[in-house]
Chain A
Amino acid sequence: MTTTQIVNFEAVAKSFGAVRALVDVDMQVVAGECLGLVGHNGAGKSTLMNVLAGTLSADTGVIGIHGQNLTRHYNVAVAHDHGIRCVFQELSLCPNLTVAENARIFHASLKGFGWKKRAGKMIIDKLDEIFPQHGIQADDVVGDLTIGRRQMVEISRAFTVSDEPLHLVILDEPTSSLDVVAARQLLSFVRKVVSEGQSCILISHMLAEILDYSDRILVMKDGEVVEEKLAQEYDRDSLVAAMGNVVESEAIEAHEENIKIRGKTPLVVKAVPRTQTGGIEFCAHKGEIVGLAGLASNGQKRMLLQVFSAADRHLNDTRVEGPVALVAGDRQTDGIFHLWSIGQNVGVRSLKNMVKGWLIGRDQEDAMASKWQAKIKIKTPDMNNNILSLSGGNQQKALFARALGSDAEIVLMDDPMRGVDVGTKLEVYDQIRKEAEEGRTFLWYTTEMDELFNCDHVYVFRNGQIVSELSRSELTEEKILQSSFKESA
């Protein structure tokens, strides 16, 4: 293995107004390694990667690439020329173009006669290599794909090679929209690439992924690198401790003792998936946490939307008792109001309750904003800032606050923890359980196995159908994986 240095950052700093997103960060990446990057939401990981990818310019500091000092005129094109690619946290594909055309965008050299074929072959080959059985075609329009598949396309695209070099691929939370299987496929591919001498930077809030698949780990906190060690020197607890969170894994175990008996409380949701052919019915009782499991894009989201649209009108195949709120997972298309402040984004679901006479009470709005800023720890100096000034995980928290702070008795969650850091996750789990005990019902679609253990009852989806139903006591990882792959009955 060589030890050529690819990236050398010295004292890189970046501020957004009063927010110091990066404070004198040093970072090195050598060839043939996978660097893990962890930190709480808003720690500055994405900002650092944006600087490395050339999409943001640093305020101060030295940017060295391949031993050259490129600080002066570093930009996207220069990064590209040096073989540095980035899979950004937010989608960077053009939804109106096909998969092949999106691949072409990345490779200026792909032109001339037959470029479409070549681009299509290039991206599909890579998809085949990383995610076998991805089910994506080169002429699929990206906007028609589910978010998971879009993520696969974007990741694969970053690894395609035409005539530009490829030395380093940055993966900013690549697994947040992938299910277990796809995530594992990606991570083993990363190991393979690294063993071939290329490098990766991997950002994730799933600490197991970082611990298992990276060589070295950089821990960030409030814009600073607070620790840097080899991966094997960490275990989960020490890593969490380095990030500045208290270890609270007992919380999960504690729940096991608290199993509810189904049917004690009234039924609040009863539905049959539109594509179901006989068999299992989807039910939720008041105060339950019901999980929707299975691989991504197998009809879980469709089920949630079916329940959501049944809330305000009568549908034959779906019965919903009580007001409903939804926590979006695909926050760009389903959640964020990009022109509004954080506070307005949080308050929008509860406006009806803030109306005094005819007008929306300013005080109520502010009160709700600051209450939830404290409660769910949204990292911002001012809730009146625009929502996009938040880091990805913090935007997700705002969406949580929107639903939890509403009057909804049933909360639908569409894989809502995408990009939320460990500490917050545990707190949110806690909150969900507390609210469930007080009578709120949660329908929780998740692609993370761990999260299912917070549920009282789990339905496993495959191909738009419910293929099995597991109560908390029957729940094991094997059973879920088994049903996820099993053909429907």
Chain B
Amino acid sequence: DTSDKKIALSNNYAGNSWRQAMLKSWDKVTSAAVKAGIVADAPAFTTAENQVTEQASQIQNLILEGYDAIVINAASPDALNGAVKQACDAGIVVVSFDGIVTEPCAYRIAVDFAKMGEIQVDYLARRMPKGGNLLEIRGLAGVFVDDEISAGIHKGVKNHSQFKIVGSVHGNWAQDVAQKAVAGILPSLPEVAAVVTQGGDGYGAAQAFKAAGRDTPLIIMGNREDELKWWKQQKDANGYETMSVSIAPGVSTLGFWVAQMILDGKTVPHDLTVPFLQIDQDNLEANLSNTEAGGVANVEYSLEDAKAAIK
């Protein structure tokens, strides 16, 4: 019975639509859980600045507040270990997701980011057996998610030697930054057959190609509604075909349920992997209709889903 337990969400950034959807999912699922008496309280906390140190102090303050479990989307995989260890030492259950922490006492709900990069190239190899030039849009330099996905993409390119990365820019996971960076490098690039991304930059890239007056290459999409909508429009107009890979922001709710189950005395493995959200040509419409205007395609977890996921 966890009806007197309090679970907190520690979040380090709220400045983009993915994080907003993540917080929204958390709020939706946890307030239902609180109402149903499953837990006593489950507030979310966000730091003002996307900063490791601020999140570390935030976690320490949550320890002080006496939460029973803390669900973390971490700003850094290692740098929060000190604070996480302190939480564990205080008897608090720590569950990390999306941005996971490496501290052994914590639970991890990991996404196989490298795989996320690799399957993009696998998909391209199927679509373009002859290969071609690739443009890579990366995230924020020095952040581990960026490195992992990029490593996956490069591994994919190694496996399919018909592809060649002719340009690589950092879009900082912000659509307008991506658009700017792509627009800058495009003039100097030869014919680009496809654009590999980290999810979320597809629309910006498409805009940049359009502005430069170039043919739109095959762009791997993310899960934002505007990307999916653009894809749909292109599909209807000229049969444009691509795929989308992303992480569902609703993974925060899986974190919540995992924490709840641990508090409930269930045994849960320390390392879990969740599949990423993949949208293909044929399930595009279905996904699009489930996505609210301006939001992101999402999957939220119920207790049952969570139980299934840890099996």
Instruction: Indicate yes or no for A touching B, C-beta below 8 A.
Output: no
